[in-house]
Structure 1
Amino acid sequence: MTVIILIAAPEGLRGHLTRWMVEASAGVFVGNPSRRVRDRLWELLASRIGDGQAILIEPADNEQGWAVRTAGRDRWQPVDFDGLILSARPKKQLNENDRLGR
């Protein structure tokens, strides 16, 4: 099973995904596309997501049985921690006062 989550996606992306998957809730798509279709969908999403966010959860041959891909702005990064995939928050950009401890 594959799950795709879109947050603040540009118009048209959700409609395009409904050709291949079922929208279980607003911005949450579930389906079982082939690897080829899944990879092509991801290429399209990653190139068109703009200021939004896209998250894809797909089957994988690992301990957890799944892998995650992310694209877009302020995205959480999947990190391999001794074979366990965890999500790391994006680093906050510090302004000059924060760096100087004010």
Structure 2
Amino acid sequence: MIVLLVERAKPSLRGELTRWLLEPRPGVFVGQVSARVRDRLWDKLCRSLDSGAALLIYTTNNEQSFGLRTFGETAREIVEHEGLWLVRLPRSPESNE
């Protein structure tokens, strides 16, 4: 299973993704595709996003049972630490830490 979150994508790109995946909310795509189709969709998405961003979450055989891929400028940073995926929130300009 994959979950694909897309920000600032052209309607034509979103329409093309709906050929393979369901779009229950704008910019949120869900589906069950093979690894080959997933990788090809991701490559096409990355080539087609000009100033947009994307996050791909897919099932895999690891401790968390999922993997992540990101593309573009997103509000949160995804980092891998000792084999685990974590989300890092940006620091606010007011914090002095």
TM-score for the superposition, normalised by structure 1: 0.79
1:40-59 alignment to 2 at 5 Å? Answer: 40-59=40-59
- Return the alpha-carbon distance in structure 2 between the equivalents of residues 34 and 82 of structure 1: 27
Map 1:1-102; keep pairs closer than 5 Å.
Answer: 1-74=1-74, 76-89=76-89
RMSD over aligned Cα atoms:
2.0
Going from structure 1 to structure 2, the CA distance change for 1:33 and 1:66 (only over 3 Å counts) comes to same
**Closer, same or farther: CA 22–74 of 1 in aligned 2, 3 Å:** closer
How many pairs align?
93
Residue in 2 aligned with 1:95?
Answer: none
Give structure 1 stretches of 5+ with no counterpart.
93-97
CA distance in 2, matches of 1:7, 1:15: 14
- The question of whether the paired residues in 2 share the 8 Å contact of 1:23 and 1:30 is answered with yes
- Normalising by structure 2, we get a TM-score of 0.83
Counterpart-to-counterpart distance in 1, 2:60 and 2:8:
27
Pair member with larger Rg: 1
- Runs (4 or more) in structure 1 with deviation over 4 Å come to 89-92
Unaligned runs of 5+ in 2: none
Residue aligned with 2:11, SS? coil
- The SS at the match of 2:20 is coil
